[in-house]
Structure 1
């Protein structure tokens, strides 16, 4: 099984830049550690953020969630958000793909 997670939230107007900077630090840490079988992307429109995480190797997200940068990002996320984040996690098996390397 693989892990797919979608996280969507809207930050408070004064927290957009801070949230983006904290999230970018996570991506810097991922580039430095280069875990295999992962795809992770962050999308933004104004104050709305959407994270897409895919682990094609296992039903696990610790390669991201155990990073010190992710812990710093997630520490005060509730205080940065207008409302609780919408989180959807799936444990699925990949059938086929285009643009997602396995």
Structure 2
């Protein structure tokens, strides 16, 4: 299992558009229901976005890049950002009913 946290800050005038693109990804995920993927996204009040991706595959292979909505989200991401995306591997230190215990 691989866990990744991605953090970036959007330009103020692009935050709502970014949130809409993220929502479209979740709508497609809900319809497609891919196995081996857990995904959460947060928007902080300063328009920083944090994405948490957990994939069952040790190599990090994920169904996300195969989604049309994710491709639309990725398109122009750097232009929407005041601070570009930074991805880091993550280890869960504590978890109280937020994530699966698997």
Q: TM-score range by the shorter chain?
A: 0.7 to 0.9
Work out the CA distance in 2 between the residues paired with 1:16 and 1:83: 12
* Cα distance, 1:85 vs structure 2: 1.1
Work out the CA distance in 1 between the residues paired with 2:83 and 2:7: 10
* Cα distance, 1:35 vs structure 2: 1.1
Work out the CA distance in 2 between the residues paired with 1:58 and 1:9: 25
2:84 matched to 1:84?
Answer: yes
Which stretches of structure 1, 4 residues or longer, exceed 2 Å deviation after superposition?
A: 56-62
Please name the residue that 1:41 is paired with. Answer: 40
Q: Secondary structure at the match of 1:85?
A: strand
TM-score of the superposed pair, with normalisation by structure 2: 0.83
TM-score of the superposed pair, with normalisation by structure 1: 0.83
The gaps in structure 2 that reach 5 residues or longer are none
- Decide which moves more: 81-90 or 33-42: 81-90
Aligned length: 97
The gaps in structure 1 that reach 5 residues or longer are none
